[in-house]
Amino acid sequence: MNADLHPDIVDVVATEEDIAEALERISAQVREDYDGTDLLLVGVLKGAVMVMADLSRRLGTHTQMDWMAVSSYGSGTKSSGVVRILKDLDTDLAGRHVLVVEDIIDSGITLSWLLKNLRSRGAASVEVATLLRKPAAAKVTVDVKYVGIEIPDKFVVGYGLDYAERYRTLPYVGVLAPHVYSDSATLA
Ligand code: PRP
């Protein structure tokens, strides 16, 4: 066991090196595919903050960024299926090439809803880049062009991902010890 591992983490599913390698691979592909075209990165708050920071710095100056905050109602460890906008984009998407930047696709419900919403705004193209995807947790099929790392269907935190707003600052992605979320009253 790694001595630096946070005591609430039972396993690491993506190390700092894994993350860097995945983002390098995605950014190389994005640079090739868009080849100098103006590209708008749309980050989904708050989880995508780390991915956005590290991916955008690997892309060129043709890249701009904007942010949305959405909520799939409720908290805890599962998506509920009902999505609402907490913060909308500042940018008009008409004619823009958009790349949605996500930290994780779990059930796919958030992203599926978001893609429909963004595509209805007249963008020239809308694609998705996600650092993590849980294939075994998919409830809806979403076409995702750039996937970093496929992970098991476990509750993970770190590198932007939280439980009750904690653990986002871990530099790796790890499986949260079940006792933490069965003991959630102590986190309030
Ligand atoms: C997480 C994550 C994705 C979404 C994925 O966000 O950042 O946006 O859930 O889940 P899904 O595929 O099952 O829809 P969350 O709602 O936890 O908000 P946060 O990013 O602010 O932590």
On whether the CB atoms of residues 47 and 103 are closer than 8 A, the answer is yes
Q: Which amino acid is at 116?
A: K
In Å, how far are 5, 71, 118, 171 from 112, measured between CA atoms?
A: 34, 13, 10, 28
Q: What 3-state class would DSSP assign to 67?
A: strand
Q: Is 159 a pocket residue for ligand 1 (Cβ < 6 Å)?
A: no
Q: Is 45 a pocket residue for ligand 1 (Cβ < 6 Å)?
A: yes
CATH assignment of 16-152?
A: 3.40.50.2020
Per domain, the residue ranges of the chain are: 16-152
Distance from CA of residue 47 to its chain's centroid? Answer: 6
Could you give the residue ranges of the DSSP H alpha helices within the chain?
A: 16-34, 49-56, 109-119, 178-182
Distance 36 CA to ligand 1 centre (A): 30
Work out the average pLDDT over 8-19. 97
Measured CA to CA, the distance from residue 148 to residue 164 in angstroms comes to 25
Is the pLDDT higher at 73 or at 31?
31
On whether the CB atoms of residues 133 and 150 are closer than 8 A, the answer is yes
pLDDT tens-digit map of 128-181: 999 999 988 888 989 999 999 999 999 999 999 999 999 999 999 999 999 998
Indicate the average pLDDT of the chain: 91
Which among 160, 166, 188, 158 is positioned nearest to 13, based on CA atoms?
A: 158
Q: What is the dihedral of CA 99, 104, 108, 110, to 10 degrees?
A: -70
Tokens at 79, concatenated: 């998506």
Is 106 part of the annotated catalytic residue set? yes
So what's the pLDDT on residue 188? 43
Distance 124 CA to ligand 1 centre (A): 25
So what's the pLDDT on residue 83? 85
**Burial tier of 121 (Cβ tally within 10 Å: 0-12, 13-18, 19+):** middle
Q: Is 46 a pocket residue for ligand 1 (Cβ < 6 Å)?
A: yes
Distance 58 CA to ligand 1 centre (A): 24
Strands 173-176 and 9-14: antiparallel
So what's the pLDDT on residue 60? 82
Q: Is 77 a pocket residue for ligand 1 (Cβ < 6 Å)?
A: no
**Residue 1: pLDDT above 60?**
no
Lowest average pLDDT, out of 49-53, 93-97, 140-144, goes to 140-144
Which listed residue (11, 18, 106, 162) is catalytic? 106
**Residue 76: pLDDT above 70?**
no
Q: Could you give phi then psi for residue 182, rounded to 5 degrees? A: -85, -10
Measured CA to CA, the distance from residue 22 to residue 11 in angstroms comes to 19
